[in-house]
Structure 1
Amino acid sequence: MKQRLIDISQPLTNDMAVWPGDTPFNFKLSFTKEQTGSVNIGQITTSAHTGTHIDAPYHFDEQGKKVHELDINIYVGPARVVDVTGCEMVGREELEHIDLEGIERLLLKTSGGRDLNRFPEKFTVFRENIGLFLKEKGIRLLGTDGPSVDAVDSKTMDAHHSLNDNGVYILENIVLNEVEPDDYELIALPLSIKGADGSPVRAVLRQL
């Protein structure tokens, strides 16, 4: 019997919340079957950081890798879901008592769920020490159910840089409210967009 996949991606809808000031997601039919005589043809307009997505280092570092330069193996493999709900910030202090040995991908549940059609007024962000701590644990990917690892008004992007400086890649806006803390296989492949600073992903978990 095949194991069930758990979808942890935000649905892409025309009324979904996006980062304040960013390009809204929009899907429409450019041509209908009636017009073409054979097929419907859809058109998508979106930011590279809409919904569930990965950040390429180029997003916050002019010299950083772009999406097409990333090792896709980072985004597929064993992952551990950990519940840190209630923490306003997460770093070494909040994670050092949790068993993180032997994993390369850490997915953090920081809330009990949110309205995906409204951008959150407040969400869990990450401390500047997060990158070095995760590197010490051998973790190469950090996923969060928040829209960013840094606050909305951050200009220094301390958590982004901390993670990047320590070889930890970023997955944001995953949906974990129905997922129990446990070990899973993660599949969250970015699109191969040449020159891009990020990419939407269809992220799924498979129970190990």
Structure 2
Amino acid sequence: MTRANPPRLWDISAPVHAASPVYPGDAPYRQQWSATIGPDSTVNVSCLMLSPHVGTHADAPLHYDNDGAAIGAVPLDAFIGPCRVVHAMGCGPLVQWRHIAHAMTADLPPRVLLRTYARMPVDRWDASLTACAPETLERLADAGVVLVGIDTASVDPADSRRLPSHQVLRRRGLRVLENLVLDAVPEGDYELIALPLRLVTADASPVRAVLRALA
């Protein structure tokens, strides 16, 4: 039976191509053709080279903990299910609890996605990106949140060496999505689908992140 009004999907994934921004010194996206359709091949086949942090991605605990799990060993439960998109544009260098308190209700879903940009810079590296205060992550974990997403390249400031917010993720067992594109998404509740690849030794994985309307 065909539904008259199927749920609307929001693609919240950053485009991935050779010009996609990366953390300074990280490996950019590269694509080479191993075979092209012609006299010697019936198909096009490409070879991809990239950091797993290019574009929208899920960090594994291995990214910030030598003893942490690789992304292929991380359970998938946190990456699919009800979520809340919370707008915190113009909040400054860190998303503090006061910037999102308006959306922290008793029925908070276990996944929270933070929008900090009016327009996410998919074409350039932003050294002054907005990160997430460690205390904010602590309070989200206290509220039962299992995954936090953000529309910047990191939950820590770009020049951070100690990565205090990533260490909160490690200690509290939180999953994280970075480089989301939430420009067109109204604040509210959705179903999140953002499954990482089963890369058994990798410190992160690209995801194709989408939101689906709940009704």
Inter-CA distance 198–35: structure 2 relative to 1 (3 Å threshold): farther
What is the 5 A alignment of 1:25-174? 25-34=29-38, 36-88=40-92, 89-102=94-107, 103-174=109-180
Paired with 1:181 and 1:204, the residues of 2 have a C-alpha distance of 15
Alpha carbons 1:131, 1:164 under 8 Å: kept: no
Equivalent of residue 191 in structure 1, options 189, 197, 201: 197
Q: CA deviation at 1:15?
A: 1.1
Given that 2:81 and 2:193 are in contact with CA atoms closer than 8 Å, whether structure 1 keeps it comes out as: yes
| Identical residues among aligned pairs (%) | 38
- Find 1:4's aligned residue among 1, 8, 18: 8
Say which is worse superposed, 100-109 or 69-78, in terms of deviation. 100-109
The 8 Å contact of residues 105 and 141 in structure 1, kept in 2 or not, is answered as yes
Counterpart of 1:186, as a letter, is L
Q: Secondary structure at the match of 2:134?
A: coil
Per mean C-alpha deviation after superposition, the further-off stretch among 88-97 and 150-159 is 88-97
Question: Counterpart of 1:68 in 2: which secondary structure?
Answer: helix
* Cα displacement (A) at 1:94: 2.9
Distance 1:196 1:101, change over 3 A: farther
1:31-79 deviations in Å (ceiling 9; x for gaps): 1111533111011110011100000111010111211111101100000
What is the CA distance between 1:97 and its match in structure 2? 4.1
Number of paired residues?
A: 208
Cα 1:85–1:135 shift into 2, 3 Å: same
Runs of 4+ displaced beyond 6 Å: none
| TM, length-normalised to structure 1 | 0.95
Distance 2:158 2:78 in 1: 26
Residues in 2 aligned to 1:109 and 1:145: alpha-carbon distance in whole angstroms: 6
C-alpha distance 101-167 of structure 1, shift in aligned 2 (>3 A): farther
Partner of 1:36: helix, strand, or coil?
A: coil
Query: Does structure 1 retain, via aligned residues, the 8 Å contact 2:192–2:211?
Result: yes
Partner of 1:176: 182
User: Which stretch shows the higher mean deviation, 174-183 or 111-120?
Assistant: 111-120
User: Alignment partner of 1:161: what SS?
Assistant: helix
| Unaligned ranges ≥5, structure 1 | none
Residue 138 (structure 1) shift: 0.4
Shift of 1:142: 0.3
In terms of mean alpha carbon deviation, does 117-126 or 166-175 score higher?
117-126
Mapped partners of 1:169, 1:130: distance in 2: 14
